[in-house]
Amino acid sequence: MIPPLIFIAVWRFFIARGGGGPQGALSIGKSKAKVYVEGEAGKVTFNDVAGVDEAKAELVEIVDFLKTPKRFTDLGAKIPKGVLLVGPPGTGKTLMAKAVAGEAGVPFFSISGSEFVELFVGVGSSRVRDLFDQAKKQAPCIIFIDELDAIGKSRASSGFYGGNDEREQTLNQLLTEMDGFDAGDTTVIVLAATNRPETLDPALLRPGRFDRQVLVDRPDLKGREAILNIHAKDVKLSEAVDLKQIATRTPGFAGADLANLVNEAALLAARRNSSKVEQQDFAEAIERVVAGLEKKSRVLNDKEKEIVAYHEVGHALVGAVMPGSDQVEKISIVPRGMAALGYTLQLPTEDRFLRDEAELKGQIATLLGGRSAEELIFGSITTGASNDLQRATDLAEQMVTTYGMSKVLGPLAYERGQRSNFLEGGMPNARRPISEETAKAIDEEVKSLVESGHQRALAILQENRALLEDLAKQLLEAEVIEGPPLREQLKQVQVPADGHVVKDAELTTV
Ligand code: ADP
Ligand code: MG
Ligand code: ZN
């Protein structure tokens, strides 16, 4: 008796769902975009966003475009159509897009990329069309596409067997719409957000589409304090709470994590039946949030922070005395973007198209500066230098096989065809057929180039050990050292005079 009953019940369920109602098949293509209009309660402005000053500065300009498009079009300037916000989750991309709409006082259409990708072929693309139609009627306005990577995945990467037809159609429609509207008379600016820019189809990033990219990164110490200040306004704080100290203890936290932290602390205070949130609540909340965060992103413990600090200062000290014109601009141990635990930023002081042998060797030594500092200070090596080693080895290999810089192997190109310039991140080509001995000689030369860079870095760091320790301590304290104060200190780096700097002749013997 039971099976038929179930069958009937299920059947009725489907009839009830499918029959009539606003959710019927006819409305399926209509855009589900949520519209926020100016004046709505809880309007977001730039005051609600902190710790991402560079991104904010870029977006202030977008607000100007929306407010006074004539100022730009009268000059004959084209207003940008697409701006891509790139950054890890929870750094405030959605919040900033809303703030742009709030500041400009224009409607804000928001839709998430994953909502586009639906069951039936053709739905996604008609939804894109609807969205743009609606937006054009309300121009000037903002369309915000969250999780752009869900539709914008590179068509090439979607696999050998043609990939996902539906997504491709949706993407094509999006490209058509973006090309279609003329920024001259209707100001519709498309903002989009992604945390995986590398997967996006290159067609999306072409001029006239998302040709502006704004990096929304995790906040540094000052930024975290500012964000805590914003969110702490919503809770009753005890006077004893020191937000700066909390900011110091939360490197790697994104804005959303900090907002969550403040809320956790308030919940803990409520559990204690306290009328105010105390420092101890924050301390406990940090532990809870960190435990949850560790899987999501990198929050360094104190020991790791120390290692990263020495590692980065190692790069900076060696980089400061190497030939060539790149200047060390910034050292940071705020886990940055999606790859690095810390970073040392070297900026060229002029455009360079040629590098000589000495400079390339200097680059190899600089790349090894991080690992050498770890060896020198901690006597052991971590996994943190793998990318440095990769780059140093690639560079050494290019010196030997592409630029003919090895005395042993001579001015021969061991690769077929012209390898694109390494300064532009070229890909390796296939090797020419070579003898076993030559292959061995190449390996040896590459190894000796990298190893001598390593020795050179070690020598410099040994000579400047006091400065290394001093700078690392400063870095642990401040998380970021940059600009003139950094340059001033790096001037003190001494180049060892005892002939430890490796001469060309030694290269093949090290
Ligand atoms: P994303 O879109 O980058 O993943 P959201 O904009 O959705 O991040 O951020 C979620 C919440 O976290 C925001 O609503 C806000 O409360 C908080 N938040 C994130 N970043 C910031 C920031 N830079 N300043 C202030 N609050 C922030
Ligand atoms: Mg978001
Ligand atoms: Zn490094």
- DSSP states along 42-104: T---GGG--S-HHHHHHHHHHHHHHH-HHHHHTTTPPPP-EEEEE-STTSSHHHHHHHHHHHH
Ligand 1 neighbourhood includes 228 CB (under 6 angstroms): no
Q: Do 409 and 332 touch, CB atoms closer than 8 A?
A: no
Ligand 1 atom nearest 48 alpha carbon: 25
Pocket test for ligand 1, best of 95, 243, 261 (most atoms within 8 A of CB): 95
90 lines ligand 1 (CB under 6 A): yes
> Residue 91 CA: which ligand is closest?
1
Q: What is the pLDDT of residue 224?
A: 92
* Ligand 1 contact, 47 CB (< 6 A): no
Predicted local confidence at residue 184, as pLDDT: 55
Select 302-509's CATH number: 1.20.58.760, 3.40.630.30, 1.20.59.10, 2.60.40.1840: 1.20.58.760
- Strand ranges inside 327-456, DSSP E: 327-332, 343-347
Distance between CA atoms of residues 65 and 312, nearest Å: 40
| Nearest ligand 1 atom, CA 257 | 12
Cβ proximity of 265 and 285 under 8 Å: yes
Task: State whether the beta carbon of 193 lies less than 6 angstroms from ligand 1.
Answer: yes
Going by alpha carbons, the residue nearest to atom 5 of ligand 1 is 92
Cα of 49 from ligand 1 centre, angstroms: 8
Dist. CA 207–CA 209, nearest whole Å: 5
Query: CA-to-CA distance for 463 and 466, rounded, in angstroms?
Result: 8
Q: Residue 403: which of 439, 452, 354, 455 has the closest Cα?
A: 354
Position 4 scores a pLDDT of 52
Assigned architecture for domain 221-291 = Orthogonal Bundle (1.10)
Q: Which residue has the tokens 């400065």?
A: 467
Position 261 scores a pLDDT of 93
Q: Is the CB of 93 under 6 A from ligand 1?
A: yes
For the chain, give every domain's residue range.
Answer: 1-26, 31-156+165-215, 221-291, 302-509
Is residue 256 in contact with ligand 1, taking CB distance under 6 Å?
yes
Query: Which numbered ligand comes closest to the C-alpha of 385?
Result: 3
Q: pTM for the full model?
A: 0.62
Q: 93 C-alpha to center of ligand 2: Å?
A: 6
Q: Residues whose CB is under 5 A from ligand 2 (ion)?
A: 94
Q: How far is the CA of 94 from the centre of ligand 1 (A)?
A: 7
**Protein residue with its CA nearest to atom 24 in ligand 1:** 49
Atom of ligand 1 nearest to the CA of 52: 23
pLDDT recorded at residue 504: 40
**Hey, whose CA ends up nearest to atom 4 of ligand 1?**
90
What's the gap in Å between 89 CA and the centre of ligand 1? 9
The yes-or-no answer to whether 31-156+165-215 and 221-291 have a common fold is no
CB atoms within 10 A of CB 303: 9
pLDDT of residue 106: 85
Catalytic residues: 312
Q: Whose CA is nearest to atom 7 of ligand 1?
A: 94
In three-state secondary structure terms, 146 is strand
Return per-residue pLDDT of the chain as tens, 510 residues.
Answer: 455 555 544 444 444 444 333 333 344 445 555 655 544 545 788 999 998 888 898 899 888 888 888 888 888 877 788 899 988 889 999 999 889 888 888 888 888 877 766 556 667 778 888 888 888 888 788 888 888 888 777 665 554 444 567 777 778 888 888 887 665 567 788 899 988 887 788 888 888 788 888 888 888 888 999 999 999 998 999 888 999 888 887 877 899 999 999 999 999 999 999 999 999 899 888 877 776 655 555 667 788 889 999 999 999 999 999 987 677 878 888 765 445 677 777 765 665 567 889 999 999 999 999 999 999 999 988 888 888 999 999 999 989 988 889 888 888 888 776 554 444 444 555 677 889 999 999 999 999 999 999 999 999 999 999 999 999 999 998 888 888 899 899 999 998 875 444 444 333 332
> Ligand 1 centroid to 93 CA: how many Å?
7
How many whole angstroms from 256 Cα to the centroid of ligand 1?
5
pLDDT of residue 423: 43
User: For residue 335, how far is its CA from the centre of ligand 2 (angstroms)?
Assistant: 20
* CB of residue 89 inside a 6 A radius of ligand 1: yes
Does the beta carbon of 195 lie inside 6 Å of ligand 1?
A: no
| CA 89 to ligand 1: nearest atom | 4
Matching CATH number, 31-156+165-215, of 3.30.479.10, 3.10.129.10, 3.40.50.850, 3.40.50.300 = 3.40.50.300
> Which of 63, 65, 276, 43 minimizes the C-alpha distance to 183?
65
Distance CA 415, CA 390 (A): 19
Residue 304 tokens, joined: 């790791």
| pLDDT value of position 181 | 67
Ligand 1 neighbour 223 (Cβ under 6 A)? no
Check if 260 has its Cβ closer than 6 Å to any atom of ligand 1. Answer: no
Short-list 96, 93, 89, 86, CA closest to 48? 96
